[in-house]
Chains A and B, each alone.
Chain A
Amino acid sequence: MALINLAAREINYKIVYYGCGLCGKTTNIQYIHRRVNPAARGRLVSIATEEERTLYFDFLPLSLGTVKGLSTRFHLYTVPGQSFYNASRKLVLQGVDGVVFVADSQVSRLDENVDSYLNLWDNLMSQGEDPAKLGIVLQMNKRDLGSIFSVGDLTELLNHTDSPVVEACALTGVGVFETLKTVCKQAIARSTQS
């Protein structure tokens, strides 16, 4: 459930972009930062290595404004994708309200996608989260490239929660906001039910 501050009339939702290294998590966040109304966004914070690989996380706060008298914010995070950063991924997942699993659609990235998906399940379950009850969106990224899996194949491999699926090309922005809208609405709907 989100952080609800009744006194300040604020609700904060934490959304985490998850997936294997170089699948496009940071590209999603950077596109959102470029395209969203500057008045509604905060500073984009990236903790990256010198090679611009995410070391710890990227962070972008977005303000939805006031809804029914409640100031509503989304805090977008990415996790580092490389397998040896699992401790960092666990930390970023703490208190998560919604997850975007960014899959690299290329056939050559099959093993990395599956490993990352299983790792997401392991990390969620280790902190007492039921992946089936958490709002997950599966973004199939890099649909513009050749030699990619079909939507059906990727769904079978990476969507055991019957989550919404969005086809995307994060580099050009295709599907980026559709993914964001879907995960935000899902996080709100889940908090209504909880």
Chain B
Amino acid sequence: MSRRRGLVISDEQMRLVDGVLAKLRRVSGSKFVALVSTSGQPITTSPPDVQSDTLSLAALAAGSFAATRQLAEVLCEREFTLLFHEGKESNLHVVQVTDQILLLITFGRETQVGRVRLYTSRALEVLKPVFEGAENVGGDDVIDRDYSREAGEAIDDMFPGQTNR
């Protein structure tokens, strides 16, 4: 069976990326920086705790960014490569790293948009090569028949078997 297109993040990629995100957050004066997949799933964040809200943020930002790309198509523009939402207290900046990965940055009034954009573009120069051309391999040895069986048992335990009529 052919391999379906997916995304596998390796230890080495994550080590490089976490350092870049932490530095970007510090030098740009941002509150929160996250790498998410274009399908809406979080990959890593700075600070590192993935909360429930991060999952929603990733899904919504990826959806919003995907819609922006379609808007570009409708307007006969080759692509819109960034998305910016400005609020009273906080702002959201989303940029594309590769065709499968987005970078999200949230920041408040204490920093400037230009500063965030400048350091984000520098961070992209480092982040892009980490993922571009990297083979999505390494998942085979973790998702095996044992994983599939144990996950199946966990699914049976987690979801109620009986429904309330």
Measured CB to CB, the residues of A under 8 A from B are: 1-8, 11-12, 14, 35-37, 40, 42-43, 45, 47, 56-57, 59, 61, 64-65, 67-68, 70, 72-73, 75, 77, 87-88, 91-92, 94-96, 128-129, 133-134, 172-177, 180-181, 184-185, 188-194
13 residue pairs bridging A and B, Cβ less than 8 Å apart: A6-B8, A7-B14, A42-B56, A43-B52, A45-B56, A56-B63, A59-B60, A73-B41, A133-B2, A177-B163, A185-B152, A193-B1, A194-B4
Contacts of B8 in A (CB 8 A): 1, 4, 6
Chain B, 41-57, contact with A by CB distance < 8 Å: what is the 0/1 string? 10110000000110110
Docked-complex contact A43 and B40, CB < 8 angstroms: no
Main secondary structure of the interface of A (DSSP, over half): mixed
Docked-complex contact A65 and B154, CB < 8 angstroms: yes
Docked-complex contact B56 and A59, CB < 8 angstroms: yes
Instruction: For the complex, give the distance between the alpha carbons of A37 and B163 in Å.
Output: 14
Docked-complex contact A14 and B41, CB < 8 angstroms: yes
Docked-complex contact A8 and B37, CB < 8 angstroms: no
Docked-complex contact B39 and A6, CB < 8 angstroms: no
Docked-complex contact A189 and B148, CB < 8 angstroms: yes
- Contact partner, B39, options A3, A70, A185, Cβ 8 Å: A3
Docked-complex contact A133 and B4, CB < 8 angstroms: yes
Chain A residue at smallest Cβ distance from B71: A87
Chain B residue at smallest Cβ distance from A172: B165
- Contact partner, B151, options A72, A94, A96, A173, Cβ 8 Å: A72
Q: How many B residues have CB within 8 A of the partner chain?
A: 54
Nearest Cβ distance between residue B13 and chain A, in whole angstroms? 7
Contacts of A128 in B (CB 8 A): 5
Docked-complex contact A174 and B165, CB < 8 angstroms: yes
Q: Which of B115-165 contact A (CB under 8 A)?
A: 136, 138-139, 142-148, 150-152, 154-156, 158-161, 163-165
